[in-house]
Amino acid sequence: MNKERNQRLVYNFSENWADSLDELKTAHDERSVIARAGEYALGRKTDELITEQLDTSMNYSGAGKDGLTKAKVLTAFEMLGDADVPDDGERYAVVGWKQWSDLLGIEEFAHADYIGDGDLPWKGTQAKRWLGTL
C-alpha cells in the first residue's frame, strides 16, 4: 500500500512539475525578442549607411586631430547657415562617444547657466538640442 501511495505522489509531483515547465516555456515572449534583434540589426545597418555617406563629404569645420571644440561647432553652425539649411528645429548632428565627451567639456553645452536646467545633457535621454540642432 505504501508503494502505491508513493507512486501516486511521484506521479502528482511529476505532473505538476511538467506543468510548471510548460508555463516557463510559454511565459516569455519570443516574438518580441526576435523583433528587438531585428530592430537592432536594422539600426546598425542604418548607422553604417549614414557613416559611409558622411565619409564622402568634403565639408569640414576643422582638423580631426584636436577633437570637437567650441570653435568647430560654431564653424559648422555657420556652414549650415551659408548652405541655406533652415534653422527650423530639423537639424541633426551625428556625435560619437569621444565627441560627446568633448562637448561635455564645453561650458556653453553642459552648464545650466547657458542652457537651462531642463536641457542638461545628462538628464533624461542622451539626445540634446543645442544651437538649434539635435
Instruction: Report the pLDDT value the prediction gives residue 13, as an integer from 0 to 100.
Output: 55
pLDDT of residue 60: 74
- Provide the 3-class DSSP secondary structure of residue 130: strand
- Provide the pLDDT for residue 124: 55
130 backbone dihedrals φ, ψ, rounded to 5°: -150, 130
Residue 12: its pLDDT value, please? 56
Average pLDDT value over all residues in the chain: 75
Residue 27's pLDDT is 60
Cα dist. 66→33, 47, 62, 107 in Å? 41, 24, 9, 18
CB under 8 Å to 70, separation ≥6 — which residues? 106, 108
Q: Determine the 3-state secondary structure of 91 from DSSP.
A: strand
Low-confidence ranges of the chain (pLDDT < 70): 1-28, 64, 114-130, 132-134
pLDDT number for residue 33: 82
Distance CA 125, CA 95 (A): 14
